[in-house]
């Protein structure tokens, strides 16, 4: 690290990512441990709490290395020394780790400018984020009598139809082979995955498994026209959300995929469905937060508790599930086709849509997918009527559209040019022979 970087950190003061130590103390390992478990950071040794450069002994390298050996499991640290005003300053920096670390058998996280030991629930949450445990495979406390036999049979039938796999001979064998049930002290209980997928009301035990949708009327979230909570088994929730969005989002025209004409909605519906399924099967269920779908005038957001698994990012979306059972169940019934392609399908669908771009906002403990209307203003009723008219009759001259819409020719031509720019309308011919067609 450059001396200039150290000076800038000193000037900025202690933060969530920077800690000052007046002299070498063993608890600096606690700070480093907290940084590893949170978002990374640096400890500067030889700086007092007020940011004054006091310096330290010039031979602290080995002592620092020795105390960091107490962090388990071991990790990579960047240790260095620089001279400022003829005073020795040591620093230890680290990045956020994909593992969960402890010092003195205690795991710490960074909250503001302080370190705090994790309680049991937080330890489980961090372990889930790090993929040290799989929540869906853990036994729940729910007895197997809560299983909906109807849902199990429906799942087995759809699995057979979609994947060509035959069910086991008996109902009991299917419950065990699909890991729907487990045992606790000779008592048959549901796994958490079985609870979420094969009961009618998993929200009774896991209220965080519901999905909340809020449709705001403005960007400032001051008023809303809908506030809905979706409950039930996870695949029912996915179907209910899809039905709601299909019914309530605007249809703005049609487009062709090969020879097949499809409705053009204000958002790409296959991308929305993929994002909803991803949020349901990849979220961190140990976190008590809900999946949230927020609809604004110019964007739609889907956010869920849980970051991307360690080593996974948008550029390399390999299959590394936080909930492997839920992923398998969704694959078995055809809700996802291939592992590891969901993000690419979302990106591809948005590239093909004339009005919407997508962005991903990934933080330490939450993932948000934002579908943003970024290629033009929202179409109004007149634009939608023009597109609908062209889609119905196939093509038309501007004079025909003037008659249908009841506006001046200049106004109609202006709107047609705008729709051409957006990629919703095509123009063929010249002069009096010019015709307009829906996008193909």
Instruction: Average the pLDDT over 63-88 and give the result.
Output: 91
State how far the Cα of 134 lies from the Cα of 137, in Å rounded to an integer: 6
**End residue of a domain, out of 85, 118, 151:** 118
Same domain, 250 and 393: no
Let me know how long the chain is. 440
Give just the sign of the alpha carbon dihedral 303, 305, 307, 313.
negative
Q: Quick one: DSSP state of residue 381?
A: H
Listed ranges 19-33, 71-85, 232-246; the one with the highest mean pLDDT: 232-246
Residue 203 within a domain: yes
CATH of the domain at 410: 1.10.10.10
Helix 269-282 to helix 324-332 angle, to the nearest 10 degrees?
140
Residue 77 within a domain: yes
Range of the domain at 195: 135-207
Same domain, 78 and 182: no
Same domain, 97 and 17: yes
State how far the Cα of 360 lies from the Cα of 367, in Å rounded to an integer: 7
Residue 270 within a domain: yes
Residue 123 within a domain: no
Structural domain count, the chain: 4
Same domain, 65 and 100: yes
Listed ranges 38-47, 72-81, 148-157; the one with the highest mean pLDDT: 148-157
Same domain, 361 and 240: yes
- Mean pLDDT for the chain overall: 87
Same domain, 172 and 80: no
Residue 97 within a domain: yes
Residue 129 within a domain: no
Same domain, 47 and 149: no
CATH of the domain at 92: 3.30.950.30
State how far the Cα of 292 lies from the Cα of 215, in Å rounded to an integer: 11
Identify the pLDDT of residue 259. 54
Instruction: Average the pLDDT over 113-122 and give the result.
Output: 78
Same domain, 30 and 140: no
Same domain, 53 and 91: yes
Contact criterion met (CB below 8 Å) for 162 and 330: no
Instruction: Average the pLDDT over 284-290 and give the result.
Output: 89
> What pLDDT band is residue 266 in, cutting at 50, 70 and 90?
confident
Residue 179 within a domain: yes
pLDDT digit string, tens, across residues 125-172 = 666 666 567 889 989 999 999 999 999 999 999 999 999 988 898 999
Identify the pLDDT of residue 333. 95
């Amino acid at each position: 690290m450059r001396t200039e970087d150290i000076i800038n950190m000193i000037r900025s003061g202690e933060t969530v990512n920077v800690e000052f130590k007046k002299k070498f103390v063993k608890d600096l390992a606690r700070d480093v441990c907290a940084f590893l478990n949170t978002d990374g950071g640096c400890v500067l040794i030889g700086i007092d709490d007020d940011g004054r450069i006091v310096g330290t002994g010039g031979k602290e390298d080995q002592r620092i290395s020795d105390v960091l050996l107490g962090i388990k499991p071991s990790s990579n640290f960047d240790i260095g020394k620089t001279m400022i005003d003829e005073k020795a300053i040591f620093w230890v920096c680290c990045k956020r780790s994909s593992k969960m670390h402890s010092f003195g058998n205690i795991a710490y996280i960074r909250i503001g400018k302080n370190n705090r030991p994790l309680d049991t629930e937080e330890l489980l949450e961090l372990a889930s984020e790090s993929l040290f445990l799989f929540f869906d495979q853990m036994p729940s406390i729910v007895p197997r009598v809560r299983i909906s036999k109807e849902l199990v049979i429906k799942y087995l039938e759809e699995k057979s139809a979609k994947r060509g796999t035959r069910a086991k001979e008996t109902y009991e064998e299917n419950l065990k082979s699909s890991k729907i049930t487990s045992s606790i002290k000779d008592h048959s209980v549901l796994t958490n995955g079985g609870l979420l997928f094969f009961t009618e009301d998993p929200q009774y035990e896991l209220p965080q498994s519901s999905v909340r949708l809020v449709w705001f009327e403005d960007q400032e979230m001051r008023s809303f026209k809908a506030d809905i909570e979706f409950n039930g088994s996870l695949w029912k929730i996915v179907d209910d959300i899809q039905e709601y969005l299909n019914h309530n989002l605007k249809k703005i025209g049609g487009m062709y995929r090969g020879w097949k004409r499809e409705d053009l909605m204000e958002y790409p519906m296959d991308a929305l469905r993929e994002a909803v399924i991803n949020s349901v099967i990849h979220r961190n269920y140990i976190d008590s937060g809900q999946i949230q779908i927020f609809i604004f005038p110019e964007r739609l957001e889907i956010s869920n508790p849980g970051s991307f698994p360690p080593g996974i990012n948008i550029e390399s979306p390999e299959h590394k599930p936080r909930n492997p059972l839920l992923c398998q169940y969704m694959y078995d019934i055809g809700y996802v086709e291939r592992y590891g392609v969901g993000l690419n399908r979302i990106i591809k669908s948005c590239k093909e849509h004339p009005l919407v771009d997508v962005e991903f906002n990934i933080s330490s403990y939450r993932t948000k997918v934002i579908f943003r209307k970024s290629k033009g203003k929202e179409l109004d009723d007149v634009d939608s009527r023009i597109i609908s008219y062209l889609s119905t009759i196939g093509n038309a001259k501007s004079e025909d559209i003037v008659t249908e819409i009841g506006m001046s020719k200049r106004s109609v031509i202006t709107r047609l040019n705008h729709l051409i720019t957006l990629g919703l309308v095509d123009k063929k011919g010249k002069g009096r022979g010019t015709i307009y067609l829906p996008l193909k």
